[in-house]
Amino acid sequence: MNELAKALISTSAFAPPKNILQALPEAAALEKPASAIGGATHSIYEEVWHMAYWQEISLDWIEGKPTAVPIHASEGFPPDTSEPWDSVRDRFLAGTQNAAAIANDVDRLEVIVECPNFDAPARTMTIHDQLVSLAAHNAYHLGRVVLLRQLLDTWPPPDGGYTW
């Protein structure tokens, strides 16, 4: 497994996504913890739904499907919480597996893909660059999930996560 695939599904610069999301009850996933400086802007559920949403768009682009980006950032977060937490989590984790499989197909990594935009001409980039961008996006939001879990006192998960 190459480093890019590890950054998507395994231990790389942080704990594996499946560990970060492990053993989290739906009630905790939906909670927005308060802090001394205010409350969290998004719940874990919303963070994971957001990652799954953008990951699906990235994977569509890689597969040649010209999926448009939303006009407003708010469209990249769930309109409600009707999708069960387990489904949101599993959808995100399945997407990471798909992305990692593509990352390991080194013959495809230099293929150019089109990334549509709502207010500008479509960008182009290699599959490799799209996956690097996806891994960075997921890492950012998974870090937010870890912080939320720490605030909810549900960290570390049973299979481990960094605690420093």
Segments forming the whole domain that contains residue 110? 3-151
Contacts of 98 (CB under 8 A, 6+ apart): 59
DSSP assignments along 119-162, one per residue: SSPPEEEEHHHHHHHHHHHHHHHHHHHHHHHHHTT--S-TT---
d(CA 85, CA 17): 15
Q: Is residue 66 part of a domain?
A: yes
Q: Is residue 43 part of a domain?
A: yes
Q: Return the percentage of the chain with pLDDT > 90, whole number.
A: 80
Across residues 148-162, what is the average pLDDT? 90
User: Phi and psi dihedrals of 38, rounded to 5?
Assistant: 130, -170
Beta bridge partners of 113: 125
Beta bridge partners of 34: 39
Residue 47 has pLDDT above 90, yes or no: yes
Q: Work out the pLDDT band at 34, boundaries 50, 70, 90.
A: confident
Q: What pLDDT score was predicted for residue 36?
A: 67
Residue 37 has pLDDT above 80, yes or no: no
Residue 12 has pLDDT above 90, yes or no: no
Instruction: Give the E-state strand segments of the chain in sequence order.
Output: 34-35, 38-39, 112-115, 123-126
Q: What pLDDT score was predicted for residue 38?
A: 78
For residues 88, 30, 25 and 131, what is the CA-based torsion angle, rounded to 10 degrees? 40
Q: Is residue 159 part of a domain?
A: no
Determine the 3-state secondary structure of 99 from DSSP. Answer: helix
Q: Per residue in 75-95, pLDDT tens? A: 999 999 999 999 999 999 999
Q: Per residue in 82-130, pLDDT tens? A: 999 999 999 999 999 999 999 999 999 999 999 998 788 889 999 999 9
We report the CATH number of the domain holding residue 110 as: 1.20.120.450
Counted domains in the chain: 1
